[in-house]
C-alpha cells in the first residue's frame, strides 16, 4: 500500500427540515362552491338567505360558502328532528338503528382519504394527523357505538333505559369531524335524534358527513346538520324542542349555556377547556417522556382541550429534559399542512393566532424565559412557532389560562406532594400525564390528581371505549365508552 487510502466517505444533503415536498393530492376531495343546511334529509337553502366563507388557514384562500342558519332555520331543523324521533327513530328496533350506524362507519372508512384532505384544508391540521388519527378514530367511534345500540339493557341492567329525544350538539373547530362523531354516534345508538352545529371556521367535514348520512338512507330528520356561528348555537340551546345539549368548546361559552338552560328540564353535558399538567419524574423513561411532551403540546398545533400545556419536570433531570426537548423541537417540521412530512400545521384562524400571540407577549412581559423553534414560517397563512416558557410561576398567566396553541409552560418540582398540589391548583381538570417507571407512583398520582383523564407514560391517547370528560371548570358528563351512553338516556 503505497499512498494513503482515499476517503470514500460521501456527504450528501438529507436535510430533515428540507425534505423534498411530498404533498397529499387534493384530487380525492371535492368541495362544492356553496353548501346549504342539511335538514330533514335534504340540503336546503337557509331561510336567513345568508352565507359565510370558510377559508383554508394555511393559505387564507376561500374554500367554500356555507349557509348561516338563523332562529327560523334552527326551528325547522329541531322540528324535523322531533318528527323523526316521534314517528320513526324511537319506534325502530335497536338492531335496525345499529345497521345504519355501521353503514355510516363503513362509508367513512371508504372515503377516509377525502375526509382527511378536507379536514386538513379547512382546519389547518397536518395531513399526517387527519389521516392517521382523526379519521380512523371517527370510524371507530361509529363502529363502537353501533355495537351498543341493541345492548343498552345490558349496559344499565334493571333500569329500562330510554332515549331523551332531540339532542342539540355544538362542536368546536379543533377536531371538527371527530367531535361530530363523538356526538352523533352515541346519540343515534341510544335512540335520540340530532341537530348538530359544527364550528364556523371548520364546517366542511361535517357537511361531507351529511352527504354520507344522506347516501346511507338514514331516515330523514334523524341527523340534521346546520351551520352558523354563536347566534345559531344560542338558538339551538334555547329551542324548546331540544331535550339535551351536548357542547364541546370554551369554558366561557359553557357558562353561558349553563345559565341558558337553568330552570329548563334540558339535560346538559359540557366538555370545556383545560390546562393539563404533564408530570415527568426522575425515574421516567426520558426519551419517551420527551416525545410525550411534544405530543402533549404540539399535537394539532396545541388546539387540544386536553393538551399537556403545563409541564412539571423533577429538578434532578431538568437540564437533560430541556436539552432533549429543545433538540426535538428543532426537528419538528412546521408548515404546509398538506405535506405528508409536516408535524405542526396552521393555526385554525386569524383570531386564534392573535390570542396565542397575546399570551406570548404576556409571557415575555412577565419576564419568563422564552424558547422558540428556529423554523421559518410560511409567508402566507396563520402559523406559530412551537414555543416554550421556562421559569414559570404558578401565578403566571401563562400557567393559569388556556392558550389553545403551541405554547408550553415549564415548571420544576422537588417532591410528589408538591407537584400534586401544583397540578391541582387550577380551575380546570380535564386531563393530566404522569411519567415514571414506578407503578406505585402512578397509582398514587392518579388517585390524587383531580382530572378526568390521566395518562401514564403516554399522552393524548384516545379510544372510543374510554370515557373522556372533565372536573371543575373543564365541564361535566362523559363521552366515550359505556359512560358516554348514560348521558343520552333516562335511566
Set of cell numbers at residue 464 = 372510543
284 binds another protein (CB under 8 A): yes
Q: According to the binding rule CB under 8 A, does residue 458 interact with another protein?
A: yes
User: Is residue 271 annotated as part of the catalytic site, yes or no?
Assistant: yes
CA distance 359 to 365: 10
Nearer to another protein, 160 or 331 (CB): 331
Residue in 163, 203, 221, 292 binding another protein, rule: CB under 8 A? 292
What gap in Å lies between CA 309 and CA 330, rounded to an integer?
Answer: 19
Residue 305 designated active-site: yes
Cβ–Cβ < 8 Å for 207, 246: no
**Which C-beta is closer to another protein: that of 2 or that of 33?**
2
C-alpha cell, 461: 391517547
In the bound state with another protein, the residue whose beta carbon lies nearer, of 2 and 262, is 2
User: Residues 6 or more apart from 461 whose CB is under 8 A from it?
Assistant: 455
User: Per CB under 8 A, which region of 140-148, 151-159, 288-296, 399-407 contacts another protein?
Assistant: 288-296
Q: Are strands 51-56 and 61-67 parallel, antiparallel or unpaired?
A: antiparallel
Give me the catalytic one of 200, 271, 402, 479. 271
By CB under 8 A, the count of residues binding another protein is: 40
- Grid cell digits, residue 250: 370554551
Residues in a beta bridge with 55? 62
Question: Which of residues 21, 93, 230, 378 is near another protein by CB under 8 A?
Answer: 21
> Smallest distance, Å, CB 130 to another protein?
13
Catalytic residue among 114, 119, 200, 305: 305
Task: Please tell me whether residue 128 binds another protein under the rule CB under 8 A.
Answer: yes
Among residues 399, 391, 389, which one has the least CA distance to residue 423?
399
Residue from 59, 205, 341, 411 in contact with another protein (CB under 8 A): 341
Q: Which stretch binds another protein (CB under 8 A): 53-61, 85-93, 285-293, 394-402?
A: 285-293
Site for another protein contains 439 (CB under 8 A): no
Map the footprint of another protein across residues 185-204, applying CB under 8 A: none
Edge-first strand order for the sheet with 387-390 is: 369-372, 387-390, 407-413, 310-314, 277-280, 431-435, 453-456
CB of 392 to another protein, least distance (A): 24
What DSSP letter does each residue of 214-228 carry, written as one string? HHTTPPTTSEEE---
Candidates 32, 75, 211, 291; binder of another protein (CB under 8 A) is 291
Percent helix, strand, coil in the chain (nearest 5)? 40, 20, 40
Q: Would you count residue 286 as binding another protein (CB under 8 A)?
A: yes
CB of 10 to another protein, least distance (A): 4
Q: What is the DSSP letter of 315?
A: G
For 20, other C-beta atoms within 10 Å of its C-beta total: 7
| Shortest Cβ 431–another protein spacing (Å) | 18
| Residue 297 sits in the site that holds another protein (CB under 8 A) | no
Which whole-number Å values give the CA distances from 219 to 90, 96, 168, in the listed order? 12, 11, 18
Q: Please tell me whether residue 20 binds another protein under the rule CB under 8 A.
A: yes
The span of 11-19, 143-151, 377-385, 390-398 binding another protein (CB under 8 A) equals 11-19
* Cα distances (Å, whole numbers) of residue 432 to 337, 360, 406, 429: 28, 23, 17, 8
CB of 183 to another protein, least distance (A): 28
β-pairing, 310-314 vs 244-248, is unpaired
Give the chain's length.
491
- Contact residues for another protein (CB under 8 A)? 1-16, 18-22, 128, 132, 283-289, 291-292, 320, 323, 331, 340-341, 437, 457-458
Which residues are identified as catalytic?
A: 271, 305
Amino acid at each position: 500500500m503505497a499512498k494513503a487510502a482515499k476517503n470514500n466517505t460521501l456527504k450528501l444533503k438529507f436535510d430533515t427540515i428540507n425534505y423534498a415536498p411530498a404533498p397529499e393530492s387534493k384530487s380525492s376531495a371535492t368541495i362544492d362552491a356553496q353548501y346549504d343546511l342539511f335538514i330533514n334529509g335534504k340540503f336546503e337553502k337557509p331561510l336567513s338567505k345568508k352565507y359565510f366563507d370558510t377559508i383554508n388557514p394555511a393559505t387564507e384562500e376561500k374554500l367554500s360558502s356555507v349557509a348561516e342558519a338563523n332562529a327560523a332555520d334552527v326551528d325547522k331543523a329541531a322540528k324535523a328532528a322531533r318528527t323523526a324521533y316521534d314517528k320513526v327513530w324511537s319506534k325502530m328496533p335497536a338492531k335496525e338503528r345499529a345497521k345504519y350506524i355501521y353503514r355510516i362507519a363503513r362509508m367513512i372508512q371508504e372515503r377516509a382519504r377525502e375526509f382527511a384532505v378536507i379536514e386538513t384544508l379547512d382546519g389547518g391540521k397536518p395531513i399526517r394527523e387527519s389521516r392517521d388519527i382523526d379519521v380512523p378514530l371517527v370510524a371507530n367511534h361509529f363502529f363502537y357505538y353501533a355495537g351498543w345500540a341493541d345492548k343498552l339493557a345490558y349496559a344499565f341492567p334493571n333500569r329500562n333505559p330510554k332515549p331523551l329525544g332531540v339532542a342539540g350538539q355544538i362542536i368546536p373547530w379543533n377536531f371538527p369531524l371527530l367531535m361530530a362523531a363523538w356526538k352523533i354516534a352515541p346519540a343515534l345508538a341510544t335512540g335520540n335524534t340530532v341537530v348538530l352545529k359544527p364550528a364556523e371556521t371548520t364546517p366542511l367535514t361535517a357537511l361531507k358527513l351529511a352527504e354520507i348520512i344522506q347516501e346511507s338512507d338514514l331516515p330523514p330528520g334523524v341527523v340534521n346538520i346546520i351551520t352558523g356561528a354563536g347566534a345559531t348555537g344560542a338558538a339551538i340551546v334555547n329551542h324548546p324542542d331540544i331535550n339535551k345539549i351536548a357542547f364541546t368548546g370554551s369554558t366561557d361559552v359553557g357558562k353561558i349555556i349553563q345559565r341558558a338552560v337553568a330552570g329548563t328540564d334540558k339535560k346538559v353535558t359540557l366538555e370545556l377547556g383545560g390546562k393539563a399538567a404533564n408530570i415527568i419524574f426522575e425515574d421516567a423513561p426520558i426519551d419517551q417522556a420527551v416525545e410525550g411532551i411534544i405530543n402533549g403540546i404540539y399535537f394539532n398545533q396545541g388546539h387540544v382541550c386536553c393538551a399537556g400545556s403545563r409541564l412539571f419536570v423533577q429538578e434532578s433531570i431538568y437540564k437533560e429534559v430541556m436539552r432533549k426537548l429543545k433538540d426535538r423541537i428543532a426537528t419538528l417540521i412546521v408548515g404546509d399542512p398538506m405535506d405528508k412530512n409536516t408535524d405542526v400545521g396552521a393555526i385554525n384562524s386569524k383570531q386564534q393566532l392573535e390570542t396565542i400571540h397575546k399570551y406570548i407577549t404576556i409571557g415575555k412581559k412577565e419576564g419568563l424565559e422564552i424558547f422558540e423553534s428556529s423554523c421559518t414560517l410560511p409567508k402566507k397563512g396563520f402559523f406559530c412557532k412551537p414555543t416554550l416558557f421556562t421559569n414559570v410561576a404558578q401565578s403566571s398567566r401563562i400557567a393559569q389560562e388556556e392558550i389553545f396553541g403551541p405554547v408550553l409552560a415549564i415548571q420544576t418540582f422537588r417532591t410528589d406532594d408538591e407537584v400534586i398540589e401544583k397540578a391541582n391548583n387550577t380551575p380546570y381538570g380535564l386531563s393530566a400525564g404522569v411519567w415514571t417507571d414506578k407503578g406505585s407512583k402512578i397509582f398514587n398520582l392518579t388517585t390524587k390528581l383531580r382530572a378526568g383523564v390521566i395518562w401514564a407514560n403516554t399522552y393524548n391517547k384516545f379510544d372510543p371505549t374510554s370515557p373522556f370528560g372533565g372536573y371543575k371548570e373543564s365541564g361535566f358528563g362523559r363521552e366515550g365508552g359505556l359512560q358516554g351512553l348514560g348521558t343520552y338516556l333516562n335511566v
